[in-house]
Amino acid sequence: MKNRRSFFRNAFGLGAGIVSASKLAPAEQNPARVETPDIADLPFTVDNGTKVFHLVAEPVKQQIAPNKTIDVWGFNGSAPGPTIQITQGDRVRILFDNHLPEPTSMHWHGFEIPHNMDGGPGISQDAVPPGGRFVYEFTLRQAGTYFYHSHMAMQEMMGMLGAFIMHPKAAYTPRVDKDFVVLLQEYAVLPNNTVPNTMNMEFNWLVFNGKTGPATTPLVVRLGDRVRIRTINLGMDHHPIHLHGHTFYTTGTEGGRIPEIAWIPGNTVLVGVAQSRDVEFIANNPGDWMLHCHLPHHMMNQMSSNVGPMSRKGAGMPAGVDMNQGMGMLTGTPGAPMGDDYGPSLGRGLGVGSTADQPVSNNPMQGTNHGDMKMDIAPNANRVPGFPQDAYMEGPMMAMDEMVERPQNYGLRKGWSGFMQGMMSFVRVLPPDEYDKVMEQIRQGKPANPMNMPGMHHPM
Ligand SMILES: [Cu+2]
């Protein structure tokens, strides 16, 4: 069983020369480091003044929610891959190994580096074959929120993205107390499947740092902290990222720092595909404030098919016709699946959204008990056109507080998790005593619920 602490113990155990900071509370240990909730940092060694990283492209099993693990492609055990942090002016060498079953390469998005280091397969280099290695080496003069990704489109949609933070030589002013990275990705995973459909144009799993609400780890800050959140988007959609309770300023883009005179106030920042946006604010309003993409379909899980937990008593969610009607397999006359009666429709009519969707299993919805939390619907609900809308997508029966338990969730309102889905997390602005309680639990390495969150942190 791996938790974050044992992971880092292992990472540090690799020997002298590993100088990556601990993930436990990096912002506290060194203000010039960012924290990527749910994603590790990539450690490095130093060779003659050059920072040496080892990045491995490989298939990974990414647990995006309790009981939902998908097969994606990432780096060093996670998708997105580990966060790389360097300081402006650093010379870096990246040993890039391809453990995928097909060629790939590593593109350094927005880096002003020599052309032969750009990672464009067939353009600036031969793609790295399966089992192959390519060594990238360059000096970085830029500063800001950058990222790395495969430059092969379908591989990008399989998860191959990671943050590459270039800290400025002289810290930006005003300095921030907390600095977070949030990577935005989206997957289309059909029911009963674990592999994203990379050709799909609609997405049912929307993730922050490889987790979907409520499995995302909240950003915990102390009341009065100055906070920076760096969002990075690589997918098919733009995401308007919205923060409750605060006004922030957009202070950076994928091209680096914006001069202060041009900072724009807001509470929603549109993060376009292939862009990054930094926002900063003073966390002066105590509370557990939602941070989320505001596209309604990105605030849900499984939005493209009604295949979530059963919320109706009786026959459950509508799911097309049954095997008999859909495939003519077991009964009927003449009883031959490929006969005249059934042959033309073989395999059709199964599943949600099919031409043969049946209203019969769409039972009236009833108030549902879930533990001690009851879902309330009006007595005449089933006669109201349009019902149900959110009544089955959000609510007590979707709650899984215990399943996503972790120190950062300490003290949240009971049942909170029934209302957190998709690209959704919290900025928890805590008064000093509550903040210290959460930080103490993190320091003690209190793991996420080990029964329900296996494999959250992978060994590199
Ligand atoms: Cu979105």
Placement of tokens 């509508």 in the chain = 318
Placement of tokens 């929120």 in the chain = 145
CA 291 to ligand 1 center in whole angstroms? 12
CA 232 to ligand 1 center in whole angstroms? 12
The tens digit of pLDDT for each residue in 72-86 reads 999 999 999 999 999
Q: Is 437's pLDDT higher than 70?
A: yes
CA 332 to ligand 1 center in whole angstroms? 47
Output the average pLDDT for the chain. Answer: 81
Least Cα distance to 312 among 401, 387, 419, 212 occurs for: 387
CA 39 to ligand 1 center in whole angstroms? 20
Q: Is 71's pLDDT higher than 80?
A: yes
pLDDT of residue 389: 77
CA 292 to ligand 1 center in whole angstroms? 8
Distance CA 379, CA 281 (A): 45
Look at the chain and count its residues.
460
Placement of tokens 């990275």 in the chain = 181
Q: Is 249's pLDDT higher than 90?
A: yes
CA 151 to ligand 1 center in whole angstroms? 22
Tell me which residues have their CB within 5 A of the ion that is ligand 1: 239, 293, 295, 298
CA 296 to ligand 1 center in whole angstroms? 8
Q: Is 431's pLDDT higher than 50?
A: yes
Residues linked to residue 162 through DSSP beta bridges, in sequence order: 81, 148
CA 334 to ligand 1 center in whole angstroms? 50
Which one has a higher pLDDT value, 300 or 263? 263
Average of pLDDT values for 15-21? 38
For 45-59, 126-140, 210-224, 440-454, which range has the lowest pLDDT when averaged over its residues? Answer: 440-454
CA 49 to ligand 1 center in whole angstroms? 41
What token pair was written down for 18? 């590993």
What sign for the dihedral angle of Cα 408, 411, 414, 420?
Answer: negative
Which one has a higher pLDDT value, 320 or 90? 90
| Cis preceding linkage at 80, omega within 30 | yes
Q: Is 252's pLDDT higher than 50?
A: yes
CA 298 to ligand 1 center in whole angstroms? 5
Average of pLDDT values for 436-445? 89
What sign for the dihedral angle of Cα 171, 172, 178, 180?
Answer: negative
Distance CA 100, CA 131 (A): 7
Q: Is 44's pLDDT higher than 70?
A: yes
CA 98 to ligand 1 center in whole angstroms? 30
